[in-house]
Amino acid sequence: MIILGLSGALGHDASAALLVDGEVVAAAEEERFVRDKHAKNRMPLESARYCLRAAGVAPGQVDVVAFPYAPISLASPARWHYARRYWYAPDRSLDALLNGNRRFRRNRRKVRDMGEAIGIDWSRTRFQPVEHHLAHASSAYHLSGFAEKTAIMCVDGKGEYATTFFGYGEGGRIHRLKEFYDPDSLGGVYGAITEYLGFEMLDGEYKVMGMAPYGDADRYDLSRLIRARGRGFEVDTRYVNTVGLRRYKENGVGFYFSDKLIDWLGPRRMGDVADEPYIHYAAAMQRMFEDWCLKLMETYLGDILAETGKLAFAGGGALNVKLNQRIVARDDVDELFVQPASGDSGTALGAATWVAAREGERLSRMTHVYLGPAYDDDACLEALESCREPVRWRRLEDVPAETSALLAEGHPVAWFQGRMEFGPRALGGRSILGCPSAPGIADRINEQIKFRERWRPFCPSVLDRVARDIIQTDQPAPFMTITFDVAEAWKARIPEVVHEDGTARVQVVERDAHPRYYALLEHMERLTGNGVVLNTSLNRRGEPMVCSPGDALNMFFGSDLEYLVLEDYLVTKGDDA
């Protein structure tokens, strides 16, 4: 069976994923093709075309188009809860009750129109809507490789109405235990504080997480934002998760928090400096988010975890690596699988896997995310020859060896190799690399190459055979989805990838997943004594990760990078080509 998963219902992070007989053969975010970060208000037209082309599948061969957004019955508590909690905005309340699937109908039309544009034959291809949080759940559970009964948690802003999901998977089926509904959203509160701290919601949450270690969570108590209610929680919409006239506005732009929050905490943060009191607000928000997620996990999944110790986690909240560190530290969690594309882009994969599982197809553990386009040397050479900037290049005899020599000398290197990663993390396909023992390399990359805030941390890619010595655990970590305490002996060896709190968001690299990247790490070990590189995404601030050789060259010439390894070519800047 050929299943095309598409996301984009919520106006951001459109993507496509293709399954053929249960195998994930291609997946990519639309932003990488259209060069618009998060692909706002777009459908996954180019990413769908790529997936079909990569698999050699004609549009007319697609059996099912799966879409992670579904109609919600009036008999469900979701629409009634929404209407009750948004009583202060009666237009929202009445719309939820009288026309609560309006957005689904609009999205269904968009999918059908897009399908026709790429050649889908709707007379033979079935359209299958999947509830948003079931898609998140499927993306984690069905690709976790767990055979045992598995606890499932999904935390994000919201889907149709649900914001938080607790359930379990058993025998390939997902069972729902508990959902919470908008406006009671932990992800929504985190997003509101993200906006208050001067970042963009749905993009800057990881910046808040990176700022938090510089602050003291005990300095400010934010608990009034979320209160306990029975076995769950309720958000105080007088402060956050607000709509309509309650929203705070600046220059005609409304935010997800109210004037009451400004009256309490002071003016919204501006600029790039991590200063007081905002670093303390970030720390307090991070701890409150962690505490509530863990409390709810214990309440609804504690019995399952005690039985099997397996947890699958997805949703935007699953990209909170500090929360994930606390999860794996629990005695009742033997193994955590975090979907590497946990945000809404991953729901294209989730919707497709949900359909595949329902059809009885066998799904395997996700072991890598190299599911996007690859470009051979001919394509790279074509891009180099058509480059309008003065550029030099030469073919490398031994790419890992010669690249590692540059890194060991203290140079940052842009690294463009193989298939592009699916999801937000650069994992050795589209990366900027540095030597983590070279003093000042992190500041240099932040200031001169990525043009981002100085306090933002960088992450290490680590050889699998030295990983345990660094992170002191055997927890699988191939996707940079968990932070770990760095062993004392290693903090001085790789200081440029150790964050303010002594942790690092590690990628453990295995040879089979990316042989050339693994070889690079082996050469770094011979040259520096450390099988580790600093790894960050190949992009500038505010831009998507690069996709094509042309994108890589544009980024290269738009920054102070001096070296770009473009497949087998070493590219440098020069006055003649």
Instruction: Tell me how many degrees the CA angle 166-311-508 measures, rounded to the nearest 5.
Output: 140
Q: HSE of 145 in the Cβ direction (CA atoms, 13 Å)?
A: 11
Q: What are phi and psi of 55, to 5 degrees?
A: -90, -5
Cβ 209 vs Cβ 274: under 8 Å: no
Return the closest-CA partner of residue 448 out of 330, 335, 559, 548.
559
Edge-to-edge strand ranges of the sheet holding 532-537: 391-395, 569-573, 564-566, 413-416, 430-434, 532-537, 459-463, 507-509
What span, in angstroms and rounded, lies between the C-alpha atoms of 389 and 561? 14
Torsion of CA 19, 24, 25, 28, to 10 degrees: 100
Instruction: Tell me how many degrees the CA angle 420-426-429 measures, rounded to the nearest 5.
Output: 40
Straight-line distance from the first to the last Cα atom of the chain, in angstroms, rounded to the nearest whole number: 49
Residue 136: active-site member: no
User: What angle do helix axes 347-358 and 132-141 make, rounded to 10 degrees?
Assistant: 80
From the list 12, 38, 368, 523, the catalytic residue is 12
Q: Is the peptide bond before 495 cis (omega within 30 degrees of 0)?
A: no
Residues paired with residue 166 on neighbouring β-strands, in sequence order: 153, 178
Say which amino acid occupies 21. Answer: D
Residues labelled catalytic: 12
